[in-house]
Amino acid sequence: MSGKVIALFLALSAAAMTACAEAPAADPELPAMPDETATFEKIEKTDAQWREELTAEEYRIARQAGTERPFTSELLHNKQAGHYYAVGGTIPLFSSETKFESGSGWPSFYDVIDPSHVKLVEDNSHGMQRIEVLCAQTGHHLGHVFHDGPRPTGLRYCINGAALRFVPAEQQQEQEAEATDVGE
């Protein structure tokens, strides 16, 4: 009797491992990945340069794919009109117009300003299957995107506030001029 139980256990274990090893199919509802014809200049710095420029918390989150504690970001309840940029970046990633209260504890957006400004990659860390959101300009880890957001996209970009810098709408022209200077 115990031999049959062991054989059944081994068969079920093998089936479970095979099912877990299969790569998930691409989700058709995620935004299409942009082509590599970026309209901005990528910012490439050494690890030492990023360490010098960013705070310890920004570095841990943006460069080491960390996560800030929920409900601790100063940007979580920000209601001002404006754009959100990656720390150390010069291109707008998210707009206050698409920010919403998700209850997750992190700033959340249902869309990006321009799909070419972010890069989406499969993330299988911590025993989960998620889609990681990176800044296409700096390569910074921003957070993850999920399929439980509001209309019209149904997406929730769950973003670490420490990886973002907010620029109020009244300062947008100044920021755009700075971004143009970087690209020249």
Q: Tell me the H-state helices in the chain.
A: 2-21, 47-53, 56-62, 172-183
d(CA 156, CA 100): 9
Of 62, 112, 158, 164, which residue is the catalytic one?
158
How many CB atoms are located within 10 Å of the residue 117 CB?
A: 21
List the end-to-end C-alpha distance of the chain, in Å, as a whole number: 76
Q: Answer yes or no: 135 catalytic.
A: no
Greatest pairwise CA separation for the chain in angstroms = 77
Known catalytic residues?
Answer: 158
